[in-house]
Amino acid sequence: MTNREKYAEQILDIVCNGGSVAVDLEKQKPVDCTEIRCRECKFEMSGIPCGSLRKQWCNEEYTEPPIDWSKVPVDTPILVKDSHDDEWLHRHFAKFEDGVVYAWDDGKTSWSLLSLGKVDWKYAKLAEESEQR
């Protein structure tokens, strides 16, 4: 899937409202060019026109931006698994320590768990809104 396919709706919204597509460096998502400063845009490169970089970005393969787990709030819905072939399990984020993501035991939250059981997982990602129950 390319960036164009992943962000088709956002790109259309920006363009149909008369804007130009930029990519916010911090959020790693498309925004209207007028919403950020040039130095905050992925397309800011001396000597290379934004339009050329925009076209190149649209046709690049989409890659998930890395998650800064140190900034994820406790009890945020996440998906976890221990093996590449396992199904994703719905859990809630507990902590990030020494490069390892921990989730509350049994899909509970810090509020609903009777003990402070935390389980570490090999694979973890943030749950999209459509994946949350």
Give 1-38 pLDDT, tens digit per residue.
Answer: 999 999 999 999 999 999 999 999 988 899 999 999 99
Q: Which DSSP symbol is given to 115?
A: S
37 three-state secondary structure? coil
Query: Cα–Cα distance between 61 and 87 in angstroms, integer?
Result: 24
Average pLDDT estimate for 108-119? 82
| Structure confidence by residue, pLDDT tens digits, 71-106 | 999 999 999 999 999 999 999 999 999 999 999 998
* Cα distances (angstroms) measured from residue 3 to each of 65, 112, 131: 12, 39, 21
Q: Is the pTM of this model over 0.85?
A: no
Tokens of 114: 């009777």
* pLDDT attached to residue 74: 96
